[in-house]
Structure 1
Amino acid sequence: MIRRQQGFTLLEVLVAVAVLGVAMAAIIKASSEMTGNAVQLRDRTLASWVASNVLTELRIDRVWETEDRDGETRMAERDWYWEAEIQSTPNPALRRVDIRIFSDPDDTDAITVLTALLADPERQEMDIPPAPPDDEGL
């Protein structure tokens, strides 16, 4: 009685290794893309926070002139570079400000752009709204 050996042939093993290699390459590519996306998302989030901080500083400083400004801010152990372009609007009580955030001072493409309005500090009223009526008599 002739006994056949049980197991895989060399060709079957090579095909299995090739399929495994293609699958591993796809997994590595997907992982690197996800890592790149996470880094980009983190940078855009931080840049948005920097832009919000710059806008708040402009409002606190009561900026009204239409000259452009630029600067550097440190956040999350990184330096961020920003430009604020201030323009007049058809409404004389408002100015438009476009704040662009860069990760490098030589960059031409902004990571994020925040557009907002600045109110004329001379026209802003500091009125405190009246207190709501007291409902004790009901």
Structure 2
Amino acid sequence: MTRTRAFGLSLVECLVALAILAIGITAAYRSIAVAGGQSTELRDRLLAEWVAQDLLAEHRALGHWRDPAVNEGEVEQGGVRFRYREEFRTTAYAPNNLRQVDIRVFRAGEDHALARMTGMITR
């Protein structure tokens, strides 16, 4: 009598293969989620930088001359609400003709600055 051996996987081998596959899929899903979160953060930082650039360019173009003070406001850029804080300061050089403007931009409702910019405005 000849004995034939059956080829295939046992139940234990199938369970081990499924466990390895599940771990691999979970790791891939996690890396995709992390990459998606980072791209959102980068997008918000880019938009906040544009807000700061726009504010500084507006002050320069319109010739806004302000006494030293702090101004705050909100603006929308790219469908995202941002809060900004501008601080106008005098300078040691030509204090009557030159102002320093420090601009910080935050996502609305948050306290972490996404962008910071400093510029000068002349009278």
The TM-score range, normalised by the shorter chain, is 0.7 to 0.9
Letter of the structure 2 residue corresponding to residue 101 of structure 1: V
- Counterpart mapping for 1:84-103 below 5 A: 84-92=86-94, 93-103=97-107
Structure 2-normalised TM-score?
0.87
SS in 2 for 1:17: helix
Letter of the structure 2 residue corresponding to residue 108 of structure 1: D
Name which structure has the greater RCO, CA cutoff 8 Å, separation 6+.
Answer: 2
Letter of the structure 1 residue corresponding to residue 101 of structure 2: V
SS in 2 for 1:43: helix
**Deviation string for 1:62-115 (max 9, x for gaps)?**
2332112122222222322111011222212432211111221x4222121112
RMSD: 1.5
Q: Give 1 or 2: higher strand fraction.
A: 2
Q: Which runs of 5+ in 1 are unaligned?
A: 122-138
Q: Which runs of 5+ in 2 are unaligned?
A: none
Letter of the structure 1 residue corresponding to residue 79 of structure 2: E
Structure 1-normalised TM-score?
0.78
Q: Give 1 or 2: higher helix fraction.
A: 2
- Counterpart mapping for 1:109-124 below 5 A: 109-118=112-121, 120-121=122-123
